[in-house]
Amino acid sequence: MSTQQAVIIEAPKGPFVLRTRSIPTPSEGEVLIKIMSVGLNPVNWKQGAFNILIDEYPAVVGHDVAGVVEKLGTGVEGLKKGDRVCAQTVNVGFQQYVAVPAGIMIPTIPALTRPLPFLWRLPRPASALFAPGPIGVGLNPTFSWDKPQQGHAALVIGGGPANFNYLGKLGATECIDRGEVPVESLAAHPALAPPRAAGSWLPSRRRNWSEILSKRSSLLVRVLGYYAGPDVMNFKRDVVGYVGTPEHTAFGKLLIKNLPEMLERGVISGTRYEILPNGLAGISEGLDRLRQGGVSGFKLVAHPQDPVA
């Protein structure tokens, strides 16, 4: 078989359409992955609607993939055909097969039967919470198993009330309604005395946080710091903020090394998810739901190998 099905944006600001395209051949240092699961992200529909984070057309987007190694390019070591892997890719996920750098592959445990629809989001909070300064607050920079922060409050800021019960089950000791409590008043909140650190993913809010944090507190900002580093990811363009610092990459590689064991121990688990019906054809409907704001507290996942009705 030399062709596959893919969900493609054929031109800038065009719709997502199902098309047939060639299965790529892995180059040196790459592996061909048979994609079994792919997660949908809110940014995906915006890429099509606003022509963002796309280098050329026709384009395939999609970032969180899990699947099986189908073929190895020359020079690839440590992987073999049939290995189950997952990866955070730069686009390319909404198709049945993809050739990607071997360095971004994360082995998954044999007992894991569910998809991992969280990789696109994982490196940012992981580095912010666990990495040592200056990129994080250092809660567990070596991923030790003695729970160094056990007994400390785990605070979630920015959650919606509809998800408070779910966040509590995950271990949050306090949830603050982002719609009811303005950022400016958070310093006086009884659970923050004062806040040790704050993560601000929206540039418009960073000034607010800077004004309420004490001099001994840390303000963590969003960096698109891919865990494998720019040398492995092979970006086609140089965009400020597209890639994190060397510290982000070093911590990301440590995260890759420890993730399989953390999954096996149950230290990290994927968020709630919903499997979209109809294989790749279900992606367009899923993106419409994201566009309309109809998804909260769970992830939409498509199975590219499922038959299309």
pLDDT of residue 193: 63
pLDDT at 204 exceeding the cut of 60? no
Interval 125-145 mean pLDDT: 80
Q: How confident is the model at residue 197 (pLDDT cuts 50, 70, 90)?
A: low
Top-ranked range on mean pLDDT: pick from 88-92, 177-181, 268-272, 274-278: 274-278
Interval 256-270 mean pLDDT: 78
Between 15 and 208, name the one with better pLDDT.
15
Mean pLDDT of the chain: 79
pLDDT of residue 246: 79
| Helices and strands per DSSP (H, E), number in the chain | 7, 13
Segment among 1-10, 18-27, 205-214 with least mean pLDDT: 205-214
- Cα 214 to chain centroid distance, Å, stands at 30
Q: Is 28 exposed, middle or buried (0-12, 13-18, 19+ CB in 10 A)?
A: exposed
Could you tell me if 64 and 38 are in contact, meaning their C-beta atoms sit under 8 angstroms apart? Answer: yes
Q: How confident is the model at residue 110 (pLDDT cuts 50, 70, 90)?
A: low
pLDDT of residue 240: 44
Which percentage of the chain shows pLDDT scores above 70? 72
pLDDT at 243 exceeding the cut of 60? no
Q: How confident is the model at residue 272 (pLDDT cuts 50, 70, 90)?
A: confident
Quote the CA–CA distance of 295 and 45 in Å, as a whole number.
13
Segment among 76-90, 163-177, 228-242 with least mean pLDDT: 228-242
Interval 29-58 mean pLDDT: 91
Could you tell me if 25 and 98 are in contact, meaning their C-beta atoms sit under 8 angstroms apart? Answer: no
The HSE-up count of residue 55 (CA atoms within 13 Å, CB side) is 8
pLDDT at 238 exceeding the cut of 70? no
pLDDT of residue 309: 78
Structural domain spans, the chain: 3-116+271-302, 123-267
Quote the CA–CA distance of 46 and 103 in Å, as a whole number.
28
Between 11 and 118, name the one with better pLDDT.
11
Rounded (10°) angle between helices 246-265 and 123-130: 100
Quote the CA–CA distance of 105 and 79 in Å, as a whole number.
9
Between 94 and 41, name the one with better pLDDT.
94
Segment among 41-45, 169-173, 272-276 with least mean pLDDT: 169-173
Q: What are phi and psi of 155, to 5 degrees?
A: -105, 135
Over the Cα atoms of the chain, what is R_g? Answer: 20
Could you tell me if 186 and 195 are in contact, meaning their C-beta atoms sit under 8 angstroms apart? Answer: yes
Class of domain 3-116+271-302: alpha beta
